Structure 1
Amino acid sequence: MADSKASALGMATALSGSELWAGVQGGADVKITSALVEAYIRAAIVASVLGGDDEFASTMEAALAAKQAHSSKLDAIAAATPIADGAHTVGGITITTVGGIIVAIS
């Protein structure tokens, strides 16, 4: 690992994560890696923007899934038995399904 100066890097220089940067921690001079800086920035974003929820996507998915229980129509659709494959005629309209998917309406 080599010490790095940000001013010495080009504008599009990719960091490997092992570069050492000068820092101060608890009043003492320390060397920190760019990977540590990235981890700190990610943690700060999660804390401030996502309310500290590291699993924000999973939390939102669960919250949205719980919303279905508030609609009797969605409950009925979720509990419905899939239509068997083949042609189904209702009121003069024929709906053909394959694998539970409508493939034709005539």
Structure 2
Amino acid sequence: MARRSGTSRAGVRAKLEARVLSVTQKLTLEADKRLKLASPVDDGDFRAAWQAETPEKVYQSGHVSNNIEYAVPLANGHSPQAPAGWIENELIAVVKGS
């Protein structure tokens, strides 16, 4: 099989890794945005407490968290504004691209 000139395995690998990192960063930021928009709002503290950490290296995970003390009850549907499972639904939508 003939190789294309200028295309090495290392070059292809570097491009793929750059793409993986870019997609992971975009998905993390999209999850953060969607979770903020879908958050139930009383005084806005819960919505404002979301924090996103995008990966800096390929194959690292992105993280979105909310450390406000009542985050778990809200995640479990304690608010009539957001039923149980709303976080999972938003994350599924991010992965599906909808």
Q: TM-score if structure 1 supplies the norm length?
A: 0.29
More strand by share: 1
Higher-Rg structure is 1
More helix by share: 2
Q: TM-score if structure 2 supplies the norm length?
A: 0.30
